[in-house]
Structures are given as structure tokens and as C-alpha cells.
Amino acid sequence: MPEVQTTVGVIGLGSMGLGMAQTLATKGFRTLGFDLSADRRKLAEDAGVLPQSTIADLVAASAFLVFSLPTAQDVRSVVEGHLDLLKGKTGQRVIIIDTSTSEPDVSRDLAKRLEALGHGFLDAPVSGGPAGAASGKLTMMIGGSEEDLALARPVIEAMAAKALHVGPSGAGNVAKLVNNLLAAAHMITTSEGLKLALAAGIDPEAALRVVNAASGKSMISEVHFPTWVMSDRFDSGFSMGLMRKDVRLAKKLADSTGAQLPLAEQVASLWAGSTELADSDDFTRMGAFKAKN
């Protein structure tokens, strides 16, 4: 259990950030929170988090900062907007734990700039969804220095059941993009497999039981299809817009590295071309095999 004076500031109180902030508060950290939405700040306050009226107030008071933001540009904007404040925090190494699905080059640049000011930056995207955030059972893939990871470990272990140090700055982002590219592909391939079973006169639920007992299974087939697709709930808490962004970033990474990924090209095309689904729709709707032509 952390000492009461250990203060963690959480920036971004969406479906993931709010759960992480609540978990940190429950586990004994003095937890501050900021979000642009007054409604999200109120929800955080109800969960034992101390809402802050500005990011600057939160940064000034925190030893650790947890980011849960939509894009790499948002992460860069928050850091760059508060560099002077961080520069003034001498004698205390502030560690930023960026749980956003960001871009490797952005993380590397920010880590370098913060290191020059005596502070640390870990790219630490997560898997596990809102339920994992609220229960402290996320999987976190981490890029950054061993020294900063050691300092941040009490905070990370409060939020994550599994914390995997992948390598230097940017490595966590790369691992997350690989993971989400595979999840996006599995959503399509599982949907098409069940569509084939249905067309051939086999009960899709029976076919899914076979898949999950054999070599075709994945987390998508084992968890997402039974929970959110077969039930027609489509409320996993992860949006089409976010998955489209992640697939787009994975394709951008492939293009920049020269990796030849023909199947990934097709996956990216299918996610971008699914215009019947809005960005606000749950990403599990991509698996609605009975509605597809």
C-alpha cells in the first residue's frame, strides 16, 4: 500500500482513465483527476478522485502522471503545454505513464525532451478494456528506461495485473499496435468463419464452441464473440473510431518500416471501408456476421 503522500494525477477520465483513477484511489494513492468534461470530473469525484480545474494544477501537485488520451497529438499537446511547469519541478523526478495508444516517434521525442528536464516518460498502452481498468487487472506493455519503470512500478502494479517491459521508448506503442492489428484481424476472420458455418447450415454457437476448443481460437473468439457479438449487446466500451485509428497507425508503422504485410493491408482496407458503421459504434459490431452480405 502506498504512502498517503504519493500523489498521482490522471489526465483523461474517459472509459479507461476513470477506471484507472478509481483503482488508484481505492488502492491508497492520493489521486487527482482532470478531464475537459465536467460530467466526467464529477464521476471521478464520486469515485474518490480529487478533481482539478486545470491540468497545470494537477501537474504541479503530482509525482506521477497517468495519461489516458485519444491521440498522440493530444499527448504531445499536454506535455508541450506544461514543459515550463515541469522544468520548474527541480529535485523531483516526475514520471509520466502514458497509457494512450500513441505513436512510437512521438513517445521517443517526448521521452528525450523530458529526460533533458530531469523527468521520465513511459509509453505504457494497455489492454483489458474498461472492466480491466476498474478492477486493476489491465495488461500493460511498456517502453522506456528500467530506472523510470522501477520508480513507477508501485503505480503501474496498482493498475495492471501484467506489466511487460518491451524495450526502450516507443516499444510499448509498437507492441500495442501489433496487438490491436491482430485483434482487428481476428474480429473479421472470426466473423467470416461463423458466416461460413451459418451458410453451410451449422449453428454458429456450435461452430464457435469448436473454434474455442481448437487451434482457431483467439481472445476475440473466446471473450468478445460470446460476450458482445453473439448476445447482440455490442457494448464492449471500445469504439469503431478507436480501432480504426489503431489499424491506421499500424499500417502507417508498416509503411514507414518497409514491412510487407499483405493481409494487414486488407484488414486496414476493411476497417476503413466499413462506412455503414459510425466511429461512435462499438467495435464489436464489426463482428456482426449475420448482418453482413
pLDDT in tens, 47-57: 999 999 999 99
How many domains does the chain contain in total? 2
Which of 133, 110, 9, 23 is closest to 67 using CA atoms? Answer: 9
Boundary-marking domain end, from 144, 168, 192? 168
Q: What is the pLDDT of residue 111?
A: 98
Per-residue pLDDT averaged across 223-238, rounded?
Answer: 96
Q: Residues 188, 150: one domain? A: no
Answer yes or no: is 2 within a domain: no
> With b meaning 16 or more CB within 10 Å and e meaning fewer, what string describes 118-127?
ebbbbbbbbb
Q: What is the pLDDT of residue 2?
A: 47
Residue 83 belongs to what domain range? 7-168
pLDDT class for 90, splitting at 50, 70, 90? confident
- In this predicted structure, the answer to whether residue 291 has a pLDDT above a threshold of 50 is no
Q: What average pLDDT score do residues 30-37 get?
A: 98
The CATH number of the domain holding residue 50 is: 3.40.50.720
Active-site positions read 176
Q: Tell me the per-residue pLDDT of 118-144, one tens digit each, with 9 for 90 and over.
A: 999 999 999 999 999 999 999 999 999
Q: How far is CA 240 from the centre of its chain?
A: 14
Task: Give the chain's radius of gyration (CA, Å).
Answer: 20
159 with 178, same domain: the answer is no
Domain end point (choices 112, 145, 168): 168
Separation of CA 58 from chain center: 21
**Whole-model pTM?**
0.93
Q: What residues contact residue 170 under an 8 Å CB cut-off, 6+ apart? A: 104, 105, 107, 108, 123, 143
When pLDDT is averaged across residues 145-158 and rounded to a whole number, the result is 98
Neighbouring CB atoms inside 10 A of 39's CB total 9
For the chain, how are helix, strand and coil distributed in percent, rounded to 5?
Answer: 55, 15, 30
Is pLDDT above 80 for 20?
Answer: yes
Note whether 12 and 35 are within 8 A (CB): yes
**Residues 129 and 27 placed together within one structural domain of the fold:** yes
